[in-house]
Amino acid sequence: MRLFEPFEFRLYLLPSPVSAPIVGIDLGTTNSLVAVAGWPRASDAPHIIPDAAGRPLLPSIVRFESGRVVVGAEAHSADPAHEGRVVASVKRLMGRSLADARPDLPFLPFSVVAGEGDTARVKLPDGRTVTPQEVSAHILAALRVQASGALGVPVERAVITVPAYFDDAQRQATRDAARLAGLEAVRLVAEPTAAALAYGLGTRPRTPQNVVVYDLGGGTFDVSVLRITPGEGGAGRLGADAFEVLATHGDTRLGGDDFDYALVTLIVERVLAQAPGTPPPDAALMGRLKTLAQRAKVALSDAQSVPIDAGAAFAAALAPLTLTRAELEAAIAPLVDRTIASCRRALRDAERQMAGEPVDAVILVGGATRTPLVRRRVGEFFGLAPYTAIDPDQAVALGAAVQAAVLAGGGADATGVLLLDVVPLSLGIETANGAFAKIIMRNAPIPAAGHEMFSTQVDAQTAIKLHVLQGEREMAADCRSLGEFHLRGIPPMPAGIPQLRVDFTVDANGLLTVSAHERRSGKRLTVQVVPHHGLSRDEVDRIERESFTHARADMARHRVADLLANSRLDLTWIGRQLASAGDLLPAPQRGAIEQAVAALRAFVDTAGAGAPVDADAFHAAKEALDRVSIPLHEASIRRSLQAP
């Protein structure tokens, strides 16, 4: 029987003032920001910390030179000597394998190779390789220095935002980058949740509100449905405004970069149509084309058409091109459709908690939401004019600063906040015959915990494999493997006797810890599960699509797998009892048991060989054996009591 421990949420209010601030950081694909709240005075509102030149946005660009590293706007360079040394949009590689990143490679102006564990790494022209974590660390370090200089105190702690659909590998990669930058990531907060914090700070709803956060950044997309419950005498917990995530959906490989790639493809097609002999673009040319596409995309947010100087990018004599907003919208329409499909799924997942209540507000977050087509489609889908009062580039960082102030204990407004986030995909382990036992369900609030009891299937088993999985299907082979671990040193015992309790906990950062305890021997194992790679878009789509398409068949397979495991144990025990106490039974009773054993064994042999069986008939055969074997169990007990 599966058991779930109750979820428990607490709001910890730390004393104020504190020795140093905790800042909020939005580590973005295109731009990054740092913000602070409740500093130096507890009443200070959240605000972005600009650089020395007054710029709020730090472009997420790093240039590796011989002996030095340049970060931000200055890192962008058209100098041919810097080709392959300028790294941008590295967030799309965080926690990913080379195979995961392959669709992005043709559009990146730098070389990507496989590193340890097939992880994606950047290869520089001088032969050095750097990890995405190292690149991100340079960006975070620049933000740390920027904040320290502006605040006049060393900044060593930060709340860092991540896409809601970042998995364990991507979240851990973000924490590693922070550590390399000299920062303690005291909390990872989902970007849509942070944006909702910024929204709640400005609106202070007097009644509960259902809010959708549509977050389309440079490289990732998330949509979250939240309920904001006001405190201060309202329905909030502990007098705090509660921000509870009801459901989330998204795509860690969909964002403004993909709009740029669509435009790059369109520009290349137009150039090849004009000059068929033009060679295909290399990495350096692709970088110039991406810059050209970004400028055109931004210009088309206000204009109906813009000129494109493709000749300068291709270094060739080409006639000027004109790109219209209609062409842009046609190119990106399939991408926007994918975001709307995610919105539809998130609303469906939140239906039960919303109980027919409407969506009260839709918040747009991320620079790509400035695109007119995006705003139009979102407004049409939800039937609401999107809320755009907060700068979409700054909302996430401001919300992170609010959460940072909560953790630091600074700010009367900030301490009235409680975050309740969710697990994006179900987590569990593989059980006998390849079934998937879900221990923490998709969209469960975090921090989350759950446990289940298991046992062995083989006599004298001294080690148990824990295969940790993530997904929505019923069989392990159809889910994503997060890692395998072994609990060893268990004393030999008959099958079914060991009592193994497996606990899953997901902390406030969304990181998973698995522990196993065999109660009879006292053996324990605790591991933090960090898979090598992140989920690709195709994997996420497949996991969720197939969980519906194959739901009925999956449940039948899972049922047969459970019946197979339990029936094998029954046959083992009953076989032993027949040998030790069968002579105490009348011949008709013994014959009935043997007949039921044979019937059940036929199902076990068929299912064990992988052939299809009727689950209802299988279950009926097991029930029949359970009933007719009752006299045998009683006889076995009598003989054991009579033994000297």
CA-based nearest residue to 224, from 6, 420, 28, 472: 420
Q: Which of 26, 100, 244, 478 is catalytic?
A: 26
Q: Is the Cβ–Cβ distance between 442 and 423 less than 8 Å?
A: yes
Q: Which of 51, 91, 104, 134 is catalytic?
A: 91
Instruction: Please give the Cα distance from 516 to 525 (Å, whole number).
Output: 5
Q: Is the Cβ–Cβ distance between 465 and 501 less than 8 Å?
A: no
Structure tokens at 389: 């009062």
Q: Is 191 annotated as catalytic?
A: yes
* H or E element that contains 542: helix 537-549
**Cβ-proximal residues to 485 (8 Å cutoff; 6+ apart), any chain:** 465, 466, 468, 514, 516, 525, 527
Q: Is 215 annotated as catalytic?
A: yes
Output Rg (C-alpha) for the chain, integer angstroms.
29
Plot region of 31 (φ>0 → left; ψ -120 to 50 → alpha; else → beta): beta
* H or E element that contains 324: strand 321-324
Q: Which of 100, 167, 176, 215 is catalytic?
A: 215
CA-based nearest residue to 222, from 149, 273, 183, 167: 167
Phi, psi of 629 (to 5 degrees): -90, 0
Q: Is the Cβ–Cβ distance between 379 and 385 less than 8 Å?
A: yes
What SS3 state is found at 142? Answer: helix
Instruction: Please give the Cα distance from 368 to 493 (Å, whole number).
Output: 60
Q: Is 484 annotated as catalytic?
A: no
Instruction: Please give the Cα distance from 123 to 141 (Å, whole number).
Output: 21
Q: Which of 51, 168, 176, 191 is catalytic?
A: 191
Q: State the number of CA atoms in the 13 A half-sphere of 577 facing the CB.
A: 23
Peptide bond into 21 cis (omega under 30): no
Q: What are the residue numbers of the active site?
A: 26, 91, 191, 215
